[in-house]
Amino acid sequence: MIATRRATLLAAAALPLPALVRAQGTEGPIRIGFPTPLTGAFGTEAQDQVRAAEVAVAEFNESGGLGGRRAELLVRDDRLNPGEAATRTLELIERDRVDFLVGGLSAAVQLAINNVAKERKVLFNSISQSDAINEARDWGPTTFHEALNPHMTAGAVARHALPRFGKRWAFLTADYAYGHEMVRGFQRAGQPLGMETLADIRHPTGATDYSTFLPRIAGLRPDVLCLCNFGRDQQIAVKQAGDFGLKRNVKLVAPVLLYTARLAGGGPAFEGVVGGTSYYWRLEETVPSARAFNDRFRRQHGNRVPSDYGALGYGGVRTVLEAAKAAGGTDTAKVVEAMRALRYDYYKGPQYYRGCDHQSVQSVLVIEAKANTARGEADVFDIVAQEGPEERFLRSCEELGHKA
Amino acid sequence: MSGTAAPTRARLPGLAPLAEWGMRHRVFGTWLALAALPLLLPSTALATSVVAYGLYALGFNLLFGWGGLLSFGHAALLGGGAYATGIAIAHYGAPWWAAIGVAPVAGAGVAFLMGVLAVRTRGIYFAMVTLALSQCAYHVAYQAVGWTGGENGLRGVNLREVALPFGMVLDGLDPRVRYGLVAVAAGLAVAAVSRVLDSPFGAALAALRENEARARACGYDVRAVRLLAFVLSGAVCGLAGGLLAIHLSVVPVETMHYATSGLAVMLAILGGMHSFFGPFAGAAAFLLLESAVARWTEHWPLVAGTVFMLCVLFFREGIWGTLVGWLRR
């Protein structure tokens, strides 16, 4: 009896809370849910994504918002765990009533967020690499992909590296989706150019010792060693390959050369490594929008420059907010139409979302790491080539399973 | 004992009988808690997670708290159930009752395979064998990309509608429907577990925990009792996995990761391994703490770790066990 009375009291006390939260939902600020792995292996990149997203929100609000409606960023830690990301996304949609979702760092996490969001018809703009999210099985009409995908990235690097460094390639691949998709991208782009795959050696993610693989790779006498791994794995593999003396005869290539990994790994270890990226701050020397974005970022965040993945946070949030402005509201269907119609140049040159899969068609930068940092600490790469933006570098809509 | 009891009872009138009532009617008490949970927690999604993880910890505790066997491989049981439900929905479009139904069967199946090998060992060896076997299960799930989605996880576990008898159809995307489904399934499982613990089998399990040699001398088949306990634990954890899959609409391969096995141990100890409701309380406390602290600092594991250490050092019976102990004094 006492228990039921207490339960009733507690229930009565708790009831008005959700009702209050819901009441604000419709006419308050524009709410953007931003799940990202603040803790875990990609914490550095994630925190930079948040900083860049804050820049986009601040710019929007300073320019008067959407008829006075301000934007608000709801950052949530997904711990790089898809289950956690799904829970946070459910909360963002069901309780916080967000208008849009931007975020995700890692293929599995963005696919989990996407599955939750598309079922509930909430617009999601993904800002990290994945091939699967473009495919008809995972894609939904409210799914957008602002980041590059492995097919584009690996393709651009392969087309740059093959004619210059040689046709005999060995792969050292982290044994998960990212690694496999990258190898597939390299091989597809390399096949018409006469690429010869000597070996595709798989290592578990999070490996710290590559000494067992390196003699085998040296014995194969490749022209190019392609490191299809990410973050700390890449950093350690590059260092150990250098220590082993592999760099004397073999060119090291990585699909995505991370700004943060290079900073952590140091100049001498990375010197000469070639890779792809979506953004590097020295793009500002040729692209005015990059200069504007960098200047604004420096001003807001203590004179630092945005990283590659960080810049995606800016692009992802800004496109959604600009589309909301163009649509004159936050109605999902109208904003989706506005996003599809965007032809934009916000931070890295011209971009647009392809009609069938909402993949952002954009340029891929090929960069080379250097030890000599003449322009200061942050000057770690040279941009050696730029590919696109062109749809022919993407997989075709039919191949992805979309009806034409 | 009675000397210290008197002032406490005077200070907290009514609460000691409440605790007594809760101990006597543990199933009904749990049901009440399940009914109140969405009102107490900040979001229905969090409440649903708490119920699923609470059931997982309860299933684990069947073996740990009541059977005295520390397993480090329960992620394989949770994952087995999660993938069974996930594959049933994503690949075969199964209705909700079938999708939930296969989860405990799959969990029990995985538990049987693991148990046959593991119950021959004891103590640290039992922990190691279960850990090794669950790692095998993890890598099977990791490699079977066609079925499980591998590293990318299994997507598309979308339960769009819940068809009830008499033509009633509920919206599967409604958080309240999802919570109701999960809570009812968990509530039934809790009743079943309670009944099992009250049975002669439950007594045999306790006897084994207290004194194995003596239980053997009394004529109990030690391996058979332990294997059965492992399988029952697997069925409960499998069900929890299935409910989690329906809740999240994805099955990440991380479900099978050994960190998830560790989570079960942590939830059970945090809540109180010697109380029936403890694992639920542990799940509620941990998930709530995590979501609250993570809101203002990314260093939330520091706080969670400190709370866990305090529990182990000063509250050996866990949050719930200590609370009930105080009230009953």
Residue B22 CA to residue A1 CA, distance in Å, equals 12
Task: Name the pLDDT band for A16 (thresholds 50, 70, 90).
Answer: very low
Per-residue pLDDT tens digits for A252-264: 999 999 898 888 8
Average pLDDT over residues A320-341: 96
Over residues B211-236, the pLDDT tens digits come to 999 999 999 999 999 999 999 999 99
In B, what residues contact A, Cβ < 8 A? 14, 17-18, 21-22, 29, 32, 35-36, 39-40, 42-46, 49, 150-153, 155-158, 160, 173, 175, 244, 247-250, 252-255, 291, 294, 298-301
Kindly state the average pLDDT of the residues A147-173: 94
* Alpha carbon separation from A93 to A101, A195, A368, B212, B308 (Å, rounded): 9, 47, 41, 52, 31
**Averaged pLDDT for residues B227-246:** 97
Q: Residue B199 maps to which CATH number?
A: 1.10.3470
**Candidates B14, B249, B299; nearest CB to A86:** B249
Confidence of residue A386 (pLDDT cuts 50, 70, 90): very high
What confidence category does residue B13 fall into, taking pLDDT thresholds of 50, 70 and 90? low
Quick one: pLDDT at residue A106?
A: 86
For residue B158, the 8-state DSSP code is -
A296 near A123, Cβ under 8 Å?
Answer: no
Query: Chain B contact for A137, CB < 8 A?
Result: yes
Q: What three-state secondary structure class fits B245?
A: helix
Asked if ipTM goes beyond 0.85, one says: yes
Dihedral sign for Cα atoms in the order A310, A311, A312, A313:
positive
Q: Residue A177 and residue B151: Cβ atoms within 8 Å?
A: yes
Which residues from A are below 8 Å from B252, CB to CB?
A: 81-83, 108, 112
Residue B47 has what pLDDT?
A: 95
- The answer to whether residue A45 neighbours chain B at the CB level (below 8 Å) is no
Probe site for chain A from B152, B157, B255, B291 (most A CB atoms < 10 A): B152
Instruction: For residue A41, give both structure tokens.
Output: 């292996």
Cβ within 8 Å, pair A111-B173: no
Please answer whether residues A75 and B247 qualify as being in contact, where contact means their C-beta atoms are separated by less than 8 angstroms: no
pLDDT recorded at residue B324: 86
State the average pLDDT for chain B: 91
Question: Do the Cβ atoms of B106 and B82 come closer than 8 Å?
Answer: no
Of A314, A361, A319, the closest CA to residue A336 belongs to A319
pLDDT, position A22? 42
| pLDDT at A17 > cutoff 70 | no
Give the pLDDT of residue B267.
95
Task: State the pLDDT at residue A20.
Answer: 41
A298-307 tens-digit pLDDT: 999 999 999 9
Question: Rounded to an integer, what distance in angstroms lies between the CA atom of residue A398 and that of residue A36?
Answer: 31
Residue A19: predicted pLDDT: 41
- B249 → closest Cβ in A3, A81, A119: A119
Q: pLDDT tier at B8 (50, 70, 90 boundaries)?
A: very low
Tell me the pTM. Answer: 0.90
Ordered structural domains, chain A, with CATH: 11-148+287-361 (3.40.50.2300), 151-277+365-393 (3.40.50.2300)
CA B152/CA A132 separation, integer angstroms? 9
* DSSP code at position A395: P
pLDDT of B206 higher than 90: yes
H/E element holding A263?
helix A259-265
- B171 has a pLDDT exceeding 50: yes
**If pLDDT is split at 50, 70 and 90, which confidence band does A18 have?**
very low
User: How confident is the model over B64-121, as pLDDT tens digits?
Assistant: 999 999 999 999 999 999 999 999 999 999 999 999 999 999 999 999 999 999 999 9
> SS3 for A287?
coil
Q: How many CA atoms lie within 13 A of A258 on its CB side?
A: 25
CA distance B90 to B250: 9
The pLDDT value recorded for residue A404 is: 60
Span A47-58, average pLDDT? 96
Contacts of B14 in chain A (CB under 8 A): 2
Nearest to B173 among A111, A120, A177 (CB): A120
Residues of B in contact with A138 (CB under 8 A): 155-156
Q: Which residue intervals of A266-302 are DSSP H helices? A: 267-270, 288-300
- The string of pLDDT tens digits covering residues A208-244 is 899 999 999 999 999 999 999 888 889 899 999 999 9
Closest listed residue to residue B151, CA positions, set A109, A288, A185? A109
CB-closest option in A3, A14, A138 to B155 = A138
pLDDT at position A155: 94
* pLDDT value, residue B71: 96
**High-pLDDT (> 70) share of chain A, %:** 93
Let me know: does B90 contact B64? Beta carbons within 8 Å: no
| Residue A396 DSSP one-character state | P
Question: In this predicted model, what pLDDT tens digit does every residue of A80-108 receive, in sequence order?
Answer: 899 999 999 999 999 999 999 999 988 89
Check if A112 contacts B (Cβ < 8 Å).
yes
pLDDT over 60 (residue A44): yes
When pLDDT is cut at 50, 70 and 90, the band that residue A14 belongs to is very low
Query: What is the mean pLDDT of the segment spanning A39-48?
Result: 86
Residue A130 with chain B: CB contacts under 8 Å? 152
Measured in degrees and rounded to the nearest 5, phi and psi for residue B94 equal: -65, 145
Domain that holds residue B292: 2-328
- Tell me if B249 and A138 make a contact (CB, 8 A cut-off): no
- Test B173 with A14 for CB contact under 8 angstroms: no
**What's phi and psi for A137, nearest 5 deg?**
-65, -40
Where residue B3 falls among pLDDT bands split at 50, 70, 90? very low
Pairing state between β A381-387 and A364-369: antiparallel
pLDDT reported for residue B300? 80
pLDDT of residue B295: 77
> What share of chain B has pLDDT > 70, as a percent?
95
Cβ neighbours of residue B1 closer than 8 Å, sequence gap 6 or more: none
- Give how many domains chain B has, as a whole number: 1
Q: Cβ of B155 and A115 within 8 Å?
A: yes
Using N-to-C axis directions, what is the helix angle for A177-190 and A150-165, rounded to 10°?
Answer: 50
- Who among A77, A83, A95 is closest to B43 (CB)? A95
